[in-house]
Chains A and B, each alone.
Chain A
Amino acid sequence: MSSRCPVTHWYDFLGLGISLFLAIAGSTILNMWYDRDIDAVMDRTHHRPLASGLVTPLEAFRLGLVLAILGVGLAFIMMPIYGLIVFSGLFFDVVVYTIWLKRRTCWSIVWGGISGGMPILAGRVYGVGSVDAVGVLLTLAVLFWIPTHILTFSMRYVDDYKAARIPTFPSTYGFGATRITIAVSSLLAAVSIGSAGLLIGMEWGFLRLLGVLTAGLVLMAIASIFRPSERVNFGLFKYASLYMLSAMILLSL
């Protein structure tokens, strides 16, 4: 949608929706399959089907693999470069982030962020046929938004992550440094989205509204540094989610 190209055929939208849904669902199931041992010791996740024993690991692995192959396969059939980016997202998420880095370093979220940015890049590439500056900016926007989302979450559930021995920013660098990281990251996400909006040719009115919503995000990020509390921290998490949803809607109007 962000490409503003005349691709309005129902089968394009359906294909994009189905391929991304299958690939992301497959990737999520494979992540849960690999992380079932740490999910079982974390309060927040111990009720998940794999961790609680409702589903066997083999069942989950097979389902995840089938969905991932179907999603990536459909993406390749639709357009090879689109399929390549969908596959990259899945690879970065499952192999690089979950299997390789998540249990080793808190910086793994960078790769989690990159994989999170792949769907929007894939959609953009499908629309315009190549990787362009707008696609890269939108990917960066998601990449920089991820810390606002994930780090506030990891501060809220810091004990859970410690129990599972997962290194996080709060447990490695402390809450203060994490809050500053979130604030800077929020600013960079806002700059990336705003720049993408300008390049896309977003109308001034929508840019104004985006600016207002960005001001709220920055306000919350600053409040979380200077007046830290559990409520502000989780408020920032919720606002960041709402911000990204609103920004994506505005970009597609």
Chain B
Amino acid sequence: MKISPLDRILLLLMSLLSAWQVAIGINDFDTLPIIAYTIGFGTLIIAGLLIIILGWEFLESPFVVVISSLIPASLSLGLAWEYLPDIRIFYLSFVSIGFLAILATRLTGTTRNFPLIIVTIAHGVEGLLISLLPIWLVTKGLVSVSFLLVGFGGALSGLSGLLLTFMKFNKPILERSLTLHILPGLLLVSTAALVAGFSF
């Protein structure tokens, strides 16, 4: 399926928003969240640019699963480090092991359901943390209501990740053409929500 000009524009806007976030939007955080958010939004920038340049064929690469797993892992790590100080080390370990496990299954070419189980557990926990932590923080009055946008953006981003991952494992949730059709818009809206949530 050929990438359309509209898809390219949406992906470019997503990359520009992510670039703004990396360059300006995360300056006030601690060191580890800055690194984590740089990796998360940086992955969005590179992925957006490479899809624009290489087309949807970029998604054929076996390492797309690894690269896309960086986004929820790093964003959730940044949030956990900032707002859940008691589980910092535990969560850092979980994210690291999860990422290494996904990388290992890709490098070794492990088949059957094992890689999918690994990805589902890692994405599931990370996605839940990104989506639910902002709601909990808002109800506790620890952050402003606009922070809910981070949860919303995280949920949409997680949805994009799941659509892509299941497509890669040949168990598509939606038809491939429909997934690719909605993906640029989904990524742009999720990135805009994340950037807005962190900004206000």
Contact = CB atoms under 8 A, between A and B. Distances in A.
Interface stretch (A150-158, A176-184, A231-239): A231-239
B53 to A, nearest CB: 5
Nearest to A238: B53
A216 B49 CA distance: 9
B144 interface: no
Contact of A205 (B27, B42, B45, B50): B27
A5 interface: no
B68 interface: no
Interface in B1-60: 19, 22-24, 26-27, 34, 38, 41-42, 45-46, 49-50, 53-55, 57
A201 to B, nearest CB: 15
Interface residues of B, number: 19
A204 B19 contact: no
B46 A231 contact: no
A23 B38 CA distance: 41
Contacts, number: 52
A208 interface: yes
Interface in A192-249: 203-206, 208-209, 211-213, 215-216, 219-220, 223, 227, 231-232, 235, 238-239, 242
Given A205-B22, A206-B23, A235 B45 contact: no
Most buried by B among A205, A206, A220, A227: A205
Contacts of A216: 45-46, 49-50
21 contacts: A205-B22, A205-B24, A205-B26, A205-B27, A208-B34, A208-B38, A208-B42, A209-B22, A209-B45, A211-B42, A212-B19, A212-B41, A212-B46, A216-B49, A220-B50, A223-B61, A227-B61, A231-B54, A232-B54, A235-B53, A250-B23
Interface of A: 203-206, 208-209, 211-213, 215-216, 219-220, 223, 227, 231-232, 235, 238-239, 242, 250
Interface of B: 19, 22-24, 26-27, 34, 38, 41-42, 45-46, 49-50, 53-55, 57, 61
